[in-house]
A and B are shown apart, each in its own frame.
Chain A
Amino acid sequence: MASTLLRCLSLAVVLGCVSQLPAFGQADPIKFGKVELKDLDEKNFVADSAAEAVILCDYGRSRIDLVNNSFRVSFERVTRIKILKKSGYDWATVKVPLYKKNTQEEKLVNLRGFTYNVVGGQLVKDKLESTAVFSEQLTPNNIIRKFTMPNVREGSIIEYTYIVNSDFLFNFQDWQFEHEIPVRWSEYRVSIPEYFDYKKLMQGYQSLAVQEHTEGTTQMTIRSAGGFSGEFTHGSGREQASTETLTPKVDNFRWAMKDLPAFREEPYMTTANNFMARINFELAGTKMPGRPYINVAGDWNKISKELLEDDEFGGQLSRGGFLKDKVATIVAQHADPQARIAAIHDLARKSVKYNGMDRLYASNSLRASFDKHSGNSADVNLLLIALLREAGLTVHPLVLSTRSHGMINTSFVMLANFNYVVASVVLPDNKQLLVDATEDLAPCGMLPARCLNGAGRLVLPNDQESAWVDLTPSQHFTEYRQINLVLDEKGGLSGKIHHEHGGYSALYHRGRIEKLGEKKYVEEMAEGHEGWSIPKYTFAERATVQKPLAMDYEFTSPGGDAPAGTLYLNPLRSLSDEKNPFVREGRMFPVDFGAPMDETLMVTLTLPAGYVVEELPKPIALELPDNGGRFVYNIAPNQNTLQIVSRLNLRKAVYSAEEYASLREFYTRALAKQAEQIVLKKKS
């Protein structure tokens, strides 16, 4: 964790420093205060008619300085934005989140800003006044500095610059190139002295216009102020005040992107952050003068060890002893491992209520969370692991990143990318079962939907034995309906429906019932079915979460005023008011459902006496490419009834953007088939 990293660093830093800006060959892409006339000319923004604003230039620089005996990261930014529409005014209000912990902090300094307008042919410049800068204390450790630019109008150019000085070297400033408005130029320059080793991860769907790496040197001066000093001196007693000059090598990086279109979110995305072009940093190691390389992040061996030794993670795993009596009772009752796991799972979730926070680390000791009966996801699941171990099972933590937190790149180790831990239990047949105890309504062995995000990593003492674990679940979004319909000669329908929700569908619907109550749930379900009345309904297996949730109900839907010679009906459309989920034409990013889907409708339709089939839809079977999914529709007469079967499967949890067009077409055709009519005629 952070504290460990900082301990490593503080070894090296009893220094003072003179630092200098990185020596780049390239001129800055923007000079604060020098607005270009072409940016005031509306002609140059005709192509941006869809945008509310355009980032003309976003330029950031980060470097590492030595200040007051500590290294610090200094991040300087200059941003210039053209406001095109009133809806773009929000871009003139800027929020800078800052963090502090104990005596270490991030500080915003040298904030300056101007708004430029052309008024009566003259360029008018308005200054950002300090009265327009505010600070909001979000939590004891989090502050947001906010400011808003003066006199912003359609056509204004706003420009601001600030520096954030940070004591947190593990938290080197990331850079986001892409935004929800077009970006003309976005550039990030970084210069890192040889004492620090950062990993860099580029993500997104945009390419770099500039990618440069040069090497240079900088000068740093160590100032020893006399008195006792620590690491760099040997022997004892007072030291004379002295200075020493170092000339570390520096790696200078320059990355830039050009003419980026506005970023747009799409449905069935995990989180927009995953898809925006950006570069992330994580401290991998330090190499102080005269000292060996210290690996502070790096490989899984190290991370696993660190996690397992951390008091807020591995340190808790042996502390389930306070519930040993309850565990002993369960062990005595359940010899079968599956049953034992389920019973422990039940004990864990009834012991600590998940408070909605997804975390990798415990907020408290397990005992303290138990006493409160409340905790974050790690408090719950670390307790689960501890109790499973107490019950004699082989269990390992599996760390992952939730869907809203972002995806994991398995070839790139960054602990900061993880925010969640679940239990991986080794079963007697050596298979593993992933168990999470945060959801009341999910059975043992099912991860909450928010965890269905790529792969997770097993945390083992010996990382050689560890592996990535695919999180695609065995449970699907499963819907099964068996329906008996009776049609009368006026076109009225009465029906008995048996509806089962399985897997993730069951989890969702149990949640809705819990929230709404049965009565409102039924009303909500029936909404959109014109004229339905539901005189009777019953639920089954509401509490037995390992089984599908079942609902049986009856409905009637009135027909016309008089018997008709010809009856037309499309029973499937009246049963499911579905809309193609892919209304939008194109797609940039993968479609991520989290889990596969199965939907089955089995209808038996009883015809009114004296009526015969005139026309029936033709059966079809549709396939998605690469065995990605299937839709089957069948209809067959059988004496005075019709048997209809409609089955739709999406076999993958994630479809690539390239597969989007076929997915959309697949739905269009399936829904059109379900909408086809049956025609009945009265026998003459």
Chain B
Amino acid sequence: MRITSSVFLLLGGLLAAPEARASGIKPDYSVDALAAGLRVNAHAIIRDQDEVLTVKSVSRTVSTVRRVVTVLDEAGSEWGYILVPYDQLNTVSYLRGTLYNAAGKSVRQLKSSDIKDFSLSDGFSLANDNRGRVADLRQPIYPYTVEFEYEIVSSNPLFYSNWQPQEQEEVAVEQSTFTVITPDFLPLRYKEFHLPTGVSVAHTQEKALDVYAWSVRNLTALEEEPDGPPISEVAPCVRTAPSEFEVQGYHGKLDSWQNLGRWSYELNAGRDVLPEPVKAKIAALVQGEADERVRIRKVYEYLQANTRYISIQLGIGGWQTIPAATVSTNGYGDCKALTNYCMALLKAADVTAYCALVRADKPDIQTAFPSSQFNHVVLCVPLQKSARPDTVWLECTSQSTAFGYMGSFTGNRHALLLTPAGGKLVRTPQYGAADNRRERTTDVYIDPQGSATASVRTVRTGMEQDSYEQLMHNLNATDQKKRIADRLPLSSFSITKFSLTANRQAALPAIVEKLELSLPSYAPPSGKRVFLTPNLLSRLPAPRPMTGERHTDIWLENAFTHADTVRIHMPAGFKPESLPGPVQVKTDFGTYSTQLQALPDGSLLYVRRLQMPATRFSRTQYAAYQEFRRRISVGDKAQLVLVKTDI
């Protein structure tokens, strides 16, 4: 996959192909031949998939795939369709399709004129070379079976196939095999994940060739569950990678993170030369500034003010940056170009920085298996003059991200630092429950008719502010207001005033949101009583109710702290009839507390606090987790009843 700023296209998992079947017996693809258990929870069943990766040389691989799928219903119909991607470094030798009816009889073969060719514009690149061949055999009547065969010749062996026989939920697998054939002087590297018991590699040698083969049978359909791991974390997978490779004449070794990092470093080496006037400008910018951190900040602010993100991904340009001098002329570049440019600017300010590859906006890389798993690059600046070890991390593609902040896009994960000595795996900044905060103060004023106004001040820090940072910088004021209105969990209201301000100077970026709300019929009197929920805006949505047994573990990935103070100013002539009692819930999943008290001035004060760390639990804990969430729900909707005092 390319090093772009964000990635919508994945090439890795799709590459692979068919082996001439050894026996001449045509397999039975009738639907009747299916084992009944495979249909449970499945929209489609992979009947037979053979994927063969042949390593031809250090610079060329051939991947062939034959896939037979029975489509059971409309929700599985995407399996009746296939898209085979290609680009300047990958060509499709052939793509064929055959349709079988429910009885397993071949009824139609696609002609070459039926195969369509599309540009796979990713929606954000100014230019890329991604294209796709498409074969479409979707049918109006279910079930039916399709067979697709294709071959991809790659001159980019940085990527070998990853075998994921069950890459989506609600798909069962009758049989799937994966074979890698490689010359003995180019040994295969591989790692197995979540293979079913009894499944392991079969390694044989044929003359000077090493052959590795895996096969699985009868995998029943999996389902993703709320607060559970993604399917890729539970389904079987074999990752493979070369021990050495060559792309467009750039030779590299991939037996360690260090060597992968070395290849990437050398591919981009020497591209950080700046024109003299730019160097002089930077030198002037930081002149006389002794504090290292301030120097870095000044350079970063210069970068943010003078460049913008434009993605251009062509051929080796998916991994190699355009020169820093070009960025300084045009004022734009992709993540590689802007990061490399920033590194060059810092060098001109006498600060040493390193590019660092990350897998952004997706689950972290598999650290135990060195291979190219990255889609983005950031800049890492170890402080040299600091008393204790300290590092500044810079996101160079954004004009609005706060200095030194990574956030949910690139924080809490591993990065491969590219140094002259090779790659080094490090951690990006961690953001925990204490960092990701939402602190809200609300004053609600209720009039005797039951209408109310509210002033709300919300401070969000860390990852809690990420989406608001986007909102604030990417939308104009009109759209900001609409978006904020859409997010408010109230049935009827108007926003009479609002503002968003960012504090980018603090150690963690913060955004302050101020809202003035008008709430018609917020607490209408019902006879002599008035009902209201003191928790105006901060209810945690209820979890999905359980409708069956829990299969997967509980993954709580978002750490946060929410603190609320609500002051309720009651209309004259009412007093509380019943006040909900205090709630205290302390569990391993998190802590929750609420308290409501009457103040001497006649107003009421509601205080709520919810903190949840990032943790994982066994599936057996799910009932306890549900109970925790239920208690929060009950606490959040607790009602306050006021009665008229003058009757």
Instruction: Assess the B634–A530 pair: CB atoms within 8 A.
Output: yes
> Between A and B, how many residue pairs show CB distances below 8 Å?
177
Q: Which B residues are in CB contact (< 8 Å) with A534? A: 545, 547
Instruction: Give the nearest-CB partner of A132 in chain B.
Output: B330
Q: How far is the CA of A534 from the CA of B114 in the complex (A)?
A: 48
Instruction: Assess the B127–A146 pair: CB atoms within 8 A.
Output: yes
- B11 within 8 Å of A by Cβ? no
Given contacts A134-B127, A146-B126, A568-B639, contact A352 B476 (CB under 8 A): no
Interface size class on chain B is: 35 or more
Which listed residue (A132, A514, A519, A570) contacts B75, Cβ 8 A?
A: A514
Q: Which B residues are in CB contact (< 8 Å) with A679? A: 526-527, 529
Say how far A468's CB is from chain B's closest CB, in angstroms: 32
Q: Which A residues are in CB contact (< 8 Å) with B578? A: 566
- A50 within 8 Å of B by Cβ? yes
Q: How far is the CA of A153 from the CA of B310 in the complex (A)?
A: 13
Instruction: Give the nearest-CB partner of A135 in chain B.
Output: B127
- B73 within 8 Å of A by Cβ? yes
Which listed residue (B310, B479, B531) contacts A264, Cβ 8 A?
A: B479
Which listed residue (B476, B492, B524) contacts A50, Cβ 8 A?
A: B476
Q: How far is the CA of A371 from the CA of B109 in the complex (A)?
A: 11
Q: How far is the CA of A676 from the CA of B527 in the complex (A)?
A: 10
Given contacts A264-B478, A580-B491, contact A530 B542 (CB under 8 A): yes
Instruction: Assess the A526–B544 pair: CB atoms within 8 A.
Output: yes
Q: How far is the CA of A499 from the CA of B79 in the complex (A)?
A: 33
Q: For window 19-54 of chain A, which residues contact chain B by CB distance below 8 Å?
A: 49-52
Q: How far is the CA of A352 from the CA of B141 in the complex (A)?
A: 9
Say how far A420's CB is from chain B's closest CB, in angstroms: 19
Instruction: Assess the B541–A514 pair: CB atoms within 8 A.
Output: no
Instruction: Assess the B639–A374 pair: CB atoms within 8 A.
Output: no
Say how far A13's CB is from chain B's closest CB, in angstroms: 33
- Please indicate which of the listed interface residues B139, B400, B479, B492 has the most CB atoms of chain A within 10 Å of its own CB: B492
Say how far A63's CB is from chain B's closest CB, in angstroms: 31
Q: How far is the CA of A533 from the CA of B399 in the complex (A)?
A: 47
Q: How far is the CA of A630 from the CA of B636 in the complex (A)?
A: 33
Instruction: Assess the B526–A152 pair: CB atoms within 8 A.
Output: no
Q: Which A residues are in CB contact (< 8 Å) with B541? A: 527-528
Instruction: Assess the B476–A667 pair: CB atoms within 8 A.
Output: no
Q: For window 662-678 of chain A, which residues contact chain B by CB distance below 8 Å?
A: 667-669, 671-672, 675-677
Given contacts A668-B520, A677-B531, contact A152 B140 (CB under 8 A): no
- A619 within 8 Å of B by Cβ? no
- A515 within 8 Å of B by Cβ? yes
Which listed residue (A50, A372, A676) contacts B526, Cβ 8 A?
A: A676
Given contacts A87-B474, A153-B305, A530-B630, contact A351 B332 (CB under 8 A): no
Say how far A46's CB is from chain B's closest CB, in angstroms: 14
Q: Which A residues are in CB contact (< 8 Å) with B75? A: 514-517
- B365 within 8 Å of A by Cβ? no
- B498 within 8 Å of A by Cβ? no
Q: How far is the CA of A150 from the CA of B331 in the complex (A)?
A: 6
Say how far A458's CB is from chain B's closest CB, in angstroms: 27
Which listed residue (A138, A153, A584) contacts B331, Cβ 8 A?
A: A153
- A108 within 8 Å of B by Cβ? no
- B9 within 8 Å of A by Cβ? no
- A615 within 8 Å of B by Cβ? yes
Instruction: Assess the A522–B477 pair: CB atoms within 8 A.
Output: no
Instruction: Give the nearest-CB partner of A348 in chain B.
Output: B140
Q: Which B residues are in CB contact (< 8 Å) with A522? A: 547
- Please indicate which of the listed interface residues B127, B137, B526 has the most CB atoms of chain A within 10 Å of its own CB: B526
Q: For window 49-72 of chain A, which residues contact chain B by CB distance below 8 Å?
A: 49-52
Q: How far is the CA of A522 from the CA of B544 in the complex (A)?
A: 10
Q: Which A residues are in CB contact (< 8 Å) with B493? A: 583
- B624 within 8 Å of A by Cβ? no
Say how far A490's CB is from chain B's closest CB, in angstroms: 12
- B633 within 8 Å of A by Cβ? yes
Instruction: Assess the A533–B140 pair: CB atoms within 8 A.
Output: no
Q: Which A residues are in CB contact (< 8 Å) with B136? A: 355, 374
Say how far A326's CB is from chain B's closest CB, in angstroms: 14
- A523 within 8 Å of B by Cβ? yes
Residue interface mask B509-539, A partner, CB < 8 A = 1: 0000000000011001011110100000000
Given contacts A86-B473, A351-B140, A531-B630, contact A150 B478 (CB under 8 A): no
- A353 within 8 Å of B by Cβ? yes
Q: How far is the CA of A614 from the CA of B639 in the complex (A)?
A: 18
- A189 within 8 Å of B by Cβ? no
Q: For window 460-474 of chain B, which residues contact chain A by CB distance below 8 Å?
A: 473-474
Which listed residue (B119, B310, B332) contacts A136, Cβ 8 A?
A: B119
- B138 within 8 Å of A by Cβ? yes
Instruction: Give the nearest-CB partner of B141 in chain A.
Output: A350
Instruction: Assess the B478–A583 pair: CB atoms within 8 A.
Output: no
Q: How far is the CA of A129 from the CA of B475 in the complex (A)?
A: 30
- A151 within 8 Å of B by Cβ? yes
- A137 within 8 Å of B by Cβ? yes
Instruction: Assess the B482–A584 pair: CB atoms within 8 A.
Output: yes
Say how far B50's CB is from chain A's closest CB, in angstroms: 26
Instruction: Assess the A349–B531 pair: CB atoms within 8 A.
Output: no
- B41 within 8 Å of A by Cβ? yes
- B112 within 8 Å of A by Cβ? no
Which listed residue (A136, A532, A584, A672) contacts B521, Cβ 8 A?
A: A672
Residue interface mask B482-506, A partner, CB < 8 A = 1: 1001101111111000000000000
Q: Which A residues are in CB contact (< 8 Å) with B548? A: 519
Q: Which B residues are in CB contact (< 8 Å) with A349? A: 140
- B193 within 8 Å of A by Cβ? no
Q: How far is the CA of A527 from the CA of B633 in the complex (A)?
A: 12
- B553 within 8 Å of A by Cβ? no
- B74 within 8 Å of A by Cβ? yes
Residue interface mask A67-107, B partner, CB < 8 A = 1: 00000000000000000011101001100000000000000
- A486 within 8 Å of B by Cβ? no
Q: How far is the CA of A617 from the CA of B476 in the complex (A)?
A: 43
- A256 within 8 Å of B by Cβ? no
Instruction: Assess the A153–B141 pair: CB atoms within 8 A.
Output: no
Q: How far is the CA of A136 from the CA of B131 in the complex (A)?
A: 10
Instruction: Assess the B139–A373 pair: CB atoms within 8 A.
Output: yes
Say how far B204's CB is from chain A's closest CB, in angstroms: 42
Given contacts A440-B74, A527-B541, A676-B526, contact A148 B492 (CB under 8 A): no
- A199 within 8 Å of B by Cβ? no
Say how far A646's CB is from chain B's closest CB, in angstroms: 14
Q: How far is the CA of A669 from the CA of B528 in the complex (A)?
A: 20
Instruction: Assess the A87–B542 pair: CB atoms within 8 A.
Output: no
Q: How far is the CA of A617 from the CA of B493 in the complex (A)?
A: 21
Which listed residue (B108, B127, B330, B633) contacts A151, Cβ 8 A?
A: B330
Which listed residue (B140, B332, B636) contacts A350, Cβ 8 A?
A: B140
Q: How far is the CA of A621 from the CA of B588 in the complex (A)?
A: 50
Instruction: Assess the A49–B526 pair: CB atoms within 8 A.
Output: no
Q: How far is the CA of A350 from the CA of B117 in the complex (A)?
A: 27
Say how far B109's CB is from chain A's closest CB, in angstroms: 12
Residue interface mask B290-314, A partner, CB < 8 A = 1: 0000000000000001101010100
Q: Which B residues are in CB contact (< 8 Å) with A672? A: 491-492, 520-521, 524
Q: How far is the CA of A527 from the CA of B540 in the complex (A)?
A: 12
- A578 within 8 Å of B by Cβ? yes
Instruction: Give the nearest-CB partner of A513 in chain B.
Output: B75
Q: How far is the CA of A601 from the CA of B476 in the complex (A)?
A: 41
Q: For window 61-80 of chain B, which residues contact chain A by CB distance below 8 Å?
A: 73-75
- A139 within 8 Å of B by Cβ? yes
Q: Which A residues are in CB contact (< 8 Å) with B482? A: 584
- B546 within 8 Å of A by Cβ? yes
Residue interface mask A568-599, B partner, CB < 8 A = 1: 10100000001110011100000000000000
Q: A51-B476, A558-B634 are in contact. List 14 more A-B contacts (CB 8 A).
A: A85-B476, A89-B308, A140-B117, A351-B140, A353-B139, A517-B43, A529-B545, A530-B637, A534-B545, A615-B527, A615-B529, A668-B492, A672-B520, A677-B531
**11 residue pairs bridging A and B, Cβ less than 8 Å apart:** A89-B308, A148-B126, A150-B329, A264-B478, A353-B140, A355-B138, A374-B137, A523-B545, A529-B545, A533-B545, A615-B527
Q: Which 4 A-B pairs have the closest CB atoms?
A: A530-B633, A672-B521, A151-B331, A353-B140
